[in-house]
Structure 1
C-alpha cells in the first residue's frame, strides 16, 4: 500500500474517533441537560403547588368563616319555618318516588300529601303516582 493510502486510512480513522468522541460528549451533555430540566421542573412544580395551596387557603378561609357564621345564624332560626323531609323505608315508605309527595314540615307538623296528610300506613298507597 502506498503512503498516501496509509495516510488516508489514518485520517479516516482519526475522523471516526473524533466523531465518536463528539457524539459521546453530546450524549453526556444531553443527559446533564435532561437532569437539570427535571430538577428545574420539580422545583417549579413544588413552588407553584405551594403558592397555589397558600392562595387557596387564603381564599377559602374567609369563605369558610362566613359559612360557619351563616350556619350559626340559620341554626338559630325560627323552628316554625317550613323545611323538607324525604320519605325513607322507615318513615313513609309508600311515598318513595311518588309524584304526590309534599314532605314539608310546617310548625313542627309534617304534611305528607294532600290525599293523606299524615301518610299511608302500609307500603302500597292507592294514590301513588310515579314521578315524571
Structure 2
C-alpha cells in the first residue's frame, strides 16, 4: 500500500515542480520582453532629448557670445549628455552604470560641483583640467593643483577645445 502512495506523491511532486519551472520561465520571458521594450523607449526618449538640447544649444550660441555664461552652459550640457551616454550606450556596462568609477560608492559622502568664477579659482575658468568636485568639505580643483592655483594665470591651463 505504501508503494502506490509513494509513487503518487513522487508524481505529484514532479508535476508541481514542472509547473513551477514553466511558470517561472514564462514570468522571466515576459519580464525580459517588458525590459527590452522599456529600454528601447528610453533610448528613443534620450535621443529625442539630445536632439532638442542640441537645438537649444545652437540657439543659445547664436544669441549669447562665448563668454563665461555660455562656457558654463556648454559645460553643463556636456556633463549632462556625457552622463546619459555613459548610462545608456556604454556596451561594457549593461548594468546601467553600477560599475561607474565616477559614481559615488559611499552614500554618506555628498558630492557637488563647484564652478570656477572671478572670485573662486578664476585661473581655472574654461580649463579642460578643472575637476571642481567637492567631496563633503574637500574641493578637488584639478590633478595638477588639487587646491587650485593662487595666481591669475595657471601655467597648466589648457582650453577645452
Q: TM-score, normalised by structure 1?
A: 0.49
Quick one: higher RCO (CA 8 Å, sep 6+), 1 or 2? 1
* TM-score when normalising by structure 2: 0.41
